[in-house]
Amino acid sequence: MKGRNMTIKILFIEARYFDSLKLPTDENLSLYMLATFLKDSMPYVDFEFDFAYSHNYLDYVGRKMYDLCGIYSTTQSWNQACEVAATMHEFGVVTIVGGPHITSVPQSLGRYFSAGCIGPGEFVLKRIVEIYLHSKQLPASELSQISGVAFYDGDEVRINKPSNQRITIDYLPSPYKYYLQPNKIRANLLSSLGCPHNCFFCSAKVINPVLRLYSAEHIVEEMEYLYKEYEIKNFKFIDDNFLASRRRLEDLIRLLESKKMIGNIMVSCTSSSKFVQNETVDMLKLLRAQYVAIGFESGAESVLERLKRGRISLQDHERALRLLNAKGIKISGTFILGAPDETIDDINKTMRFIRRNNIHNVAAYLIKPLPGTQFWNELLLSGKIDPKKIDYQELALTHYDPKWYFNEKVPFSVTVRYLKAINRIGTYRTIRYNLTNKLLYQAGYKQFMLLIDDLKRRIYPVSKKSGIVS
């Protein structure tokens, strides 16, 4: 019909494995970004989007007939993603999956998925919507033309490599533009995709082979929007290395100064210790940084050498701690135990490192071979894992299982004992630094409010509401 837009209903679902439900539920920005990209780039389509999780999506499916379903899944939540796809298949809904897992292991695409998206999803999903609008299904002949797609051709999974055209990521829209209401206290933002390092155990390079930075202009535009529209003053950068580019940080400060936002906002971020230098810490102080999250991983140089592949040393860690502590910026540190070749002596070095340093939040995890990492590839080559027989949720970092322990120098039970000991230190420090701060703050705040109340009563002895003299 001429002049009338086509309508399409899409249900976006974030697959969450059981343990991750206990984590603070930060929203998944990617699904909101994808929805915004579709709306902006296909103005001739009327989109109806809903956003759900793998534990509540049936409430949505019961209420509405969807055309498409888009699932985000990490490796750990892959079982949940497959269960959702099977149910959607029964409802006759075309289901596409994207995110870290399918990007790392596209050959694991299950039968109930109509397609898997390897890497960035914006252009892939747009093309899929176009095909669907045209034929109400996703034929293999059409999917075979799209870069970055995995799909079934008969009984076989075919994998089209992602296109390597993308240079800038400034075209990616803000997740807050239409669909995501920012949390009033703090907004999560992305300043980059990828990481310049390539650690032994980490999926960063598998998921984003090159580091791509948002421009300072793009970031400030998003911050200014949230600051003006929602009065948000606290920004948390959730990407891996906010400090990776010193020049970009300088530009960011300059632009924020020109908008008169410096001094009125605060940030927190993640960075490798390598980028925590004199200049970057000075700039963090200007941004009123609340805390910097650092993956220290180990306090033993030889283990660091293997895990960080010689790119980040104990010296980097010590410098980062000294500089951040000197400026009063809190540090959140994570550690990994159980790396192959790690000895009891190494673990004790890590314990001493944690004990002697002022790290305000501490957490330790058991190393797990995430698909596509160097750790994974070594185990695959030596025949220690068989990708066809993996229960992916066992790769959750908090799941302690001897089946997934590949260190022959320290017994599994001993490593677990140390993990628990470090996490106990973590709990103690959280109470000491954060809870006491919060209580003191709240006590101070209460005191202050009582004082104001008292003053009010002296000035206005009659309560306007009740008319009773207080």
- Closest approach, Cβ 17 to ligand B12, in A, equals 5
Q: What are phi and psi of 96, to 5 degrees?
A: -120, 140
DSSP 119: S
Exposure pattern of 234-243 as b/e (b: 16+ CB <10 Å)? bbbbebbbbb
Q: What are phi and psi of 79, to 5 degrees?
A: -60, -45
Under rule CB under 6 A, residue 157 binds ligand B12: no
Under rule CB under 6 A, residue 391 binds ligand B12: no
> According to CB under 6 A, which one of 16, 101, 186, 197 is a site residue for ligand SF4?
197
Contact 105, 46 (CB under 8 A): no
User: Hey, which residues between 222 and 241 contact ligand SF4 (CB under 6 A)?
Assistant: 240
- Residue 339 structure tokens: 């790396």
Q: What are phi and psi of 97, to 5 degrees?
A: -120, 145
- Closest approach, Cβ 441 to ligand B12, in A, equals 24
Query: CA 262, CA 125: separation in Å to the nearest integer?
Result: 38
> According to CB under 6 A, which one of 41, 79, 183, 198 is a site residue for ligand SF4?
198
- Closest approach, Cβ 287 to ligand SF4, in A, equals 21
- Closest approach, Cβ 284 to ligand SF4, in A, equals 18
> According to CB under 6 A, which one of 199, 244, 370, 385 is a site residue for ligand SF4?
199
Under rule CB under 6 A, residue 61 binds ligand SF4: no
User: Hey, which residues between 284 and 343 contact ligand SF4 (CB under 6 A)?
Assistant: 295
> According to CB under 6 A, which one of 187, 204, 219, 366 is a site residue for ligand B12?
204
Write the single-letter amino acid at 307: L
> According to CB under 6 A, which one of 61, 81, 88, 100 is a site residue for ligand B12?
100
- Residue 279 structure tokens: 């200049």
Contact 117, 148 (CB under 8 A): yes
Burial class (CB in 10 A: 0-12, 13-18, 19+), 111: exposed
Burial class (CB in 10 A: 0-12, 13-18, 19+), 215: middle
Binder of residue 280, out of ligand B12, ligand SF4, none (CB less than 5 to 8 A by kind): none
Q: Give the strand pairing for 149-153 and 156-159.
A: antiparallel
> According to CB under 6 A, which one of 76, 192, 268, 272 is a site residue for ligand SF4?
272
- Residue 151 structure tokens: 């799909």
Q: Give the strand pairing for 115-117 and 149-153.
A: antiparallel
Under rule CB under 6 A, residue 204 binds ligand SF4: yes
> According to CB under 6 A, which one of 36, 203, 350, 374 is a site residue for ligand B12?
203
Contact 27, 49 (CB under 8 A): no
Contacts of 127 (CB under 8 A, 6+ apart): 146
Residue of minimal Cβ distance to ligand B12? 98
| Count of residues that interact with ligand B12, criterion CB under 6 A | 45
- Choose one: 37-45, 184-192, 195-203, 228-236; the region binding ligand SF4 (CB under 6 A): 195-203
Binder of residue 103, out of ligand B12, ligand SF4, none (CB less than 5 to 8 A by kind): ligand B12
Under rule CB under 6 A, residue 81 binds ligand B12: no
DSSP 180: -
Q: Which of 232, 400, 260, 429 is nearest to 332 (CA)?
A: 429
- Residue 336 structure tokens: 């990994």
- Closest approach, Cβ 105 to ligand SF4, in A, equals 18
> According to CB under 6 A, which one of 50, 67, 142, 240 is a site residue for ligand B12?
240
Under rule CB under 6 A, residue 16 binds ligand B12: yes
Closer CB to ligand SF4, 67 or 240, in the complex: 240
Residues forming contacts to ligand B12 in the complex (CB under 6 A) are: 14, 16-17, 20, 23, 26, 28-30, 33-34, 70-72, 74-77, 96, 98-101, 103-104, 117, 120-122, 124-125, 190, 193, 202-204, 207, 238-240, 370-371, 396-398
Residues forming contacts to ligand SF4 in the complex (CB under 6 A) are: 195, 197-199, 202, 204, 240, 272, 295
